[in-house]
Amino acid sequence: MAGTEKKLLTELHESGIYDFPNSLTFFIDPVRILNRNYTQFRVSPSSYYSRFFTSNFTIDELPEHKQENEESFRVSASLGKRKRNQKKKKNQQCYSLNEKELLADQRHQEIRPLLVKAHEELLRAKELLDVICELNCEIDGWERCVDLNSGGINEEDEISFIELGKVWQAPLYEIALDYTQASKQVQVNGGSLDTQHIDQRLLPLFNNLVSNETNYDMVAEFQTSQYILPKDSCFYMSELEQIHTLVPANLECGFNFIMVDPPWENRSAYQKSKYPTLPNRHFLSLPIKQLTHTSGALVALWVTNREKLRKFVENELFPAWGVRYAATLYWLKVKADGSLICDLDLFHHRPYECLLLGYTGKPVTDSELTATAKSLKDQVVMTIPGDYSRKPPVGGISILLFAASTENLLDLLLEYVPGPRPARCIELFAREMMAGWTSWGNEPLHFQDRRYFSRKITENCTNYREL
């Protein structure tokens, strides 16, 4: 078993995916997967894993005069938590669930064994747990693009593209694409280097398809900020009303993998003012059918666990889009020590989210759909969460297949995508970019800010810390 786990850890090191044997369960490292998109930059582990990592200090490392206070605080906090849990249980015993809550709890109880089994497998993989607890460590030979002494990334200093897109000057804003680095790379491969070569192009920022068609990272500049565009990627930044601009004139140029992460109405997003939400009815107008390739498309939709939302998707949204449900991918969120981010049965805050998978367009017959649905089964993906509402790049795993040198490299979703290869992929309501994808939304550059990345500081260094 030790040899098997070592092999699986090697695969995690190379691909970012740990496949539990004889199971539909995976642990993935989003940072490793995302970094397959880049050549000169890397997503910074410490910026991605900004939550759910505990402090490294122990009580013995505190000054003596503070140890007693620290210990008293921990005991007090423990007692307070115990009292709150007892009060919560008492309230739950006195509270009767309504009809929708009963349906939500029934749905939870049906998939609970699958989630429990997945988590138990993670806790048994001791060597994997040792690796997980160090995932936020910076990579040797790379340094953060933000000054660590300044306290890290200050979200208040980030540009609000949502607000800028609403002002009358929006059509006048331009983004500068720096082709200098790409030119240098081409010349290096050709045997010469012209450090004076500068090529910068200005393009409209809003309501315009901005592309990096090179095989290298591209730095884009807007106002006082820089953004890293991964190789072979493009984005279209606009409000919902302009999304029809992306509909191709010829469906042969349509998309066969469509990822959707809508800004569902929810109290948490509103209270934290993280992003504006939209009523459910607005998503009925998404042109999923018109974006679909003639061979059909796999549609992946992120949803919360609210029963009202699930019923809306099943009864209204998927029928309006022409999507036939096939399976669900469950994203189970864990901390650095392998524990769940909260109790599995916590009613109003489950430690998992759902990615609903379905097909639109072809297959055209019920028998074809049944055969496809049987092959696409429910799966569990475990990760340590990144920033608020930042989803793991399960769609980005598709790039691993094309870059693979081994035949057995894992892939979660691409093998189920109908139509041509390489797959034509689009993400709607995107907040970051991936190589080979079109990213649409009103802030697709949010996580492309250079401050979320690391840069190379030595000529000779490995991409990742040895596992």
Strongest mean pLDDT among 193-207, 262-276, 299-313: 299-313
Paired strand residues for 41: 455
pLDDT recorded at residue 69: 42
| Residue 251 or residue 141, greater confidence | 251
**Are 419 and 295 spatial neighbours (Cβ–Cβ below 8 Å)?**
yes
| Residue 124 or residue 97, greater confidence | 124
pLDDT bracket for residue 376 (50, 70, 90): confident
Check pLDDT > 90 for residue 208. Answer: yes
pLDDT bracket for residue 356 (50, 70, 90): very high
Q: Note the pLDDT tens digit of each residue in 78-98.
A: 455 555 555 555 555 556 778
Q: What is the mean pLDDT of residues 396-418?
A: 59
Q: What is the mean pLDDT of residues 414-436?
A: 90
**Least confidently predicted of 84-98, 157-171, 173-187:** 84-98
Cα–Cα distance between 120 and 125 in angstroms, integer?
A: 9
pLDDT recorded at residue 7: 83
pLDDT recorded at residue 359: 94
Q: Note the pLDDT tens digit of each residue in 322-344.
A: 999 999 999 999 999 999 999 99
Q: Note the pLDDT tens digit of each residue in 242-273.
A: 999 999 988 888 999 999 999 998 765 444 55
CATH number 3.40.50 is the correct assignment for the domain at 148-456: yes
Distance of CA 116 to the CA centre of its chain: 23
pLDDT bracket for residue 223 (50, 70, 90): very high
**Are 341 and 351 spatial neighbours (Cβ–Cβ below 8 Å)?**
yes
The residues, ordered by sequence, that sit 6+ positions from 337 with a Cβ below 8 Å of its Cβ are: 54, 129, 132, 133
